[in-house]
Amino acid sequence: MMPHLLYGTGWSEIYKVMLTPMSEDEARARYEAGDKVKVACGVEPLTPDDPDDLDLEGDEPAVWTLLAELKRSTREPGQPDVVEVEFFNFWGTREASYYFRLQADGRLFLTNVYEYEFADSSGFVRGNDWSVLTEHSFRPDGTSSVVVRRSQPDGSTDVSKTEFQGGDFSTHWEPVPAWGDWASITRRDRSRPA
């Protein structure tokens, strides 16, 4: 099956549809202007009836979405200048979210990775219903941290944090992608260069 792209301003993880859908030309114009735009990519259809209908290789997600809001040339105070990439499994459950922030040199740097684990992974689970949420935070200076949140049966959450120094985050740097050039920034495995 061929990859299928959809464009809009948001992705409904429950209904697996693009919110405020738009044409590729409209989405590209928004991207070039630095306005918020979302791209979803998967096999067509994005939600087949049978997981066996998917021809996926390795650990690649069934669907990824990319949210870009990059003002680049017209920076405003408080402007996020961010690219967010989310990875979903066959059922449409979010497995991971990657956040890239624009740095002073004009490149993007992967600052945060959120990984979600669920008690039941046999069907769709809403992103907020995780049993374990692991947040990896990275800085260009080589410092990082890992925060693990585990939901408990009584409704409480156990939290642990570990900090690191001297990390090599050379594979966390990305150029601002040209429109349609999503292959590098949507890599799930960031341990190897593109």
Per-residue pLDDT of the chain (194 residues; tens, 9 = 90+): 456 788 988 888 877 778 889 999 999 999 888 888 888 887 654 544 444 444 444 444 457 787 777 655 555 555 558 889 988 887 788 899 999 998 888 899 999 999 999 988 778 888 788 999 999 999 999 999 999 999 999 989 999 999 999 999 999 999 988 888 888 888 888 887 76
Quick check: is 194 in a domain? Answer: no
| Whether the Cβ atoms of residue 115 and residue 134 lie closer than 8 Å to each other | yes
Region of 106 (left: φ > 0; alpha: ψ -120 to 50; beta: rest) is left
Quick check: is 179 in a domain? Answer: no
113 token code pair = 């990775």
| Whether the Cβ atoms of residue 43 and residue 74 lie closer than 8 Å to each other | no
Quick check: is 189 in a domain? Answer: no
Quick check: is 83 in a domain? Answer: yes
Quick check: is 71 in a domain? Answer: yes
Query: CA angle at residue 66 from 62 to 69, to 5 degrees?
Result: 170
Query: Residue 62 has what pLDDT?
Result: 58
**Domain that residue 78 falls in:** 3-174
Quick check: is 163 in a domain? Answer: yes
Looking at the structure of the chain, the number of domains it has is 1
Query: Residue 56 has what pLDDT?
Result: 44
Quick check: is 116 in a domain? Answer: yes
Quick check: is 14 in a domain? Answer: yes
Give the predicted TM-score (pTM) of the model: 0.83
| Whether the Cβ atoms of residue 150 and residue 131 lie closer than 8 Å to each other | yes
Query: Residue 121 has what pLDDT?
Result: 77
- Tell the residue number behind the tokens 């001297």, with chain if given: 166
Query: How many other β-carbons are positioned within 10 Å of the β-carbon of residue 70?
Result: 24
Name the helix (H) or strand (E) containing 25.
helix 24-33
Query: Residue 20 has what pLDDT?
Result: 87
173 token code pair = 């740097």
Which residues face 41 on adjacent strands? 5, 64
190 token code pair = 């960031």
Query: Residue 79 has what pLDDT?
Result: 52
